[in-house]
Amino acid sequence: MSERAEEDTVSYEIENRIAWVKFNRPEKRNCMSPKLNRQMLRVLDKLEYDDTVGVLVLTGEGTAWSAGMDLKEYFRETEAQGLAGTRGAQREAYTWWKRLRWFQKPTIAMVNGWCFGGGYGPLYACDLAYAAEDAQFGLSEVNWGILPGGGATKVAFELMPFRKAMYHAMLGENLTGAQAAEEGLVNEALPADKLKARVTEVATKLLEKNPWTLKATKDAMRRVGEMTYENAEDYLIRAQEALNFFDGEARKEGMKQFLDDKTYKPGLGSYDTSKQKS
């Protein structure tokens, strides 16, 4: 096919408050070009504060989730423009991954196929991740002569046991979705034909929970990793107090429905957020 227009490199649809966002370069196995990186940022911008969206799912069109960075358009063609070209392309990629890491809504990676190298950036950026059992995950960088950059080494270190991460990065061998689940890269692996149903189920459960609480929780989980216990304890007190400022009624309603109304048990499920005063 002729060159895909920038706005066609990402597609999305919103269904029952779930935004299904797709890498949309199946003919190039959804590898990330500067065009795709720019378009993805526009799409995230559009969806982040859209009231019709409660959860974002990132998946891929065709046989790939994402085959990582585009060796031609992201590496070779930008390097030909000198350092400014390289740094500009890096900035475009890293900006949307960062935006996704701190996205206002819960995010889920639904890894339907190939997931390589630079793809680990958005994989880690998503709060949760589900994969088809036969998806393939690889730090293929060593196979073509670079180190796993763009955060990929850090992602492997954060998510995988150390020896497994080291082997994964040094050998350039792929893991199936099932192995990726065992080694911590994703929450769960499922047969491909069950993947979307499971992701929809998880997304639907998230939609029933208090959105302010979810944002505070996911940010806290990412932040505490590099804090001492004392600092984490203090940060979490401050984060809860900030949350009270935005969403002061949540705890009171949650306590009331348990202690007074006796309509639910927090150990067994969520309070009814629809009854909460804003």
Interface residues toward ligand COA, by CB under 6 A: 28-29, 31, 63, 67-72, 114, 116-118, 140-141
Instruction: Tell me how far apart the alpha carbons of residues 81 and 32 are, in angstroms, rounded to a whole number.
Output: 18
State the Cα–Cα distance between residues 129 and 108, nearest whole angstrom: 5
Q: Which is nearer to ligand COA, 12 or 114 (CB)?
A: 114
Distance of alpha carbon 114 from alpha carbon 122, whole angstroms: 13
Q: Quote the least distance from Cβ 70 to ligand COA, whole Å.
A: 4
Q: Nearest distance from residue 18's CB to ligand COA, in Å?
A: 27
Q: Of the two residues 4 and 223, which places its CB atom closer to ligand COA in the complex?
A: 4
d(CA 53, CA 262): 31
DSSP string, 104-152: SS-EEEEE-SEEEGGGHHHHHHSSEEEEETT-EEE-THHHHT---TTTH
Output the smallest distance, CB 128 to ligand COA, in A.
23
Would you tell me how many other CB atoms lie within 10 Å of the CB of residue 53?
A: 18
**In angstroms, rounded to a whole number, what is the distance separating the alpha carbons of residues 9 and 147?**
27
* Least distance in angstroms from the C-beta of 140 to ligand COA: 3
Q: Name which of 25 and 105 has its Cβ closer to ligand COA.
A: 25
* Gap between the Cα atoms of 104 and 106, Å rounded: 7
Taking the least distance from each CB to ligand COA, the nearer of 118 and 177 is 118
**Could you tell me the smallest distance in angstroms from the CB atom of residue 117 to ligand COA?**
3
Please, which residue, 106 or 118, has the CB nearer to ligand COA? 118
Q: Quick one: 18 or 160, whose CB is closer to ligand COA?
A: 160
Rounded Cα distance between 204 and 17, Å, is: 9
78 or 104: CB nearest ligand COA: 78
Q: Which is nearer to ligand COA, 70 or 183 (CB)?
A: 70
Q: How far is the CB of 243 from ligand COA (least distance, A)?
A: 38
What's the closest the beta carbon of residue 236 comes to ligand COA, in angstroms?
Answer: 36
Tokens 């998503």 found at: 126
Q: How near is the Cβ of 233 to ligand COA at its closest, in Å? A: 39
CB of 31 closer than 8 Å to CB of 75: no
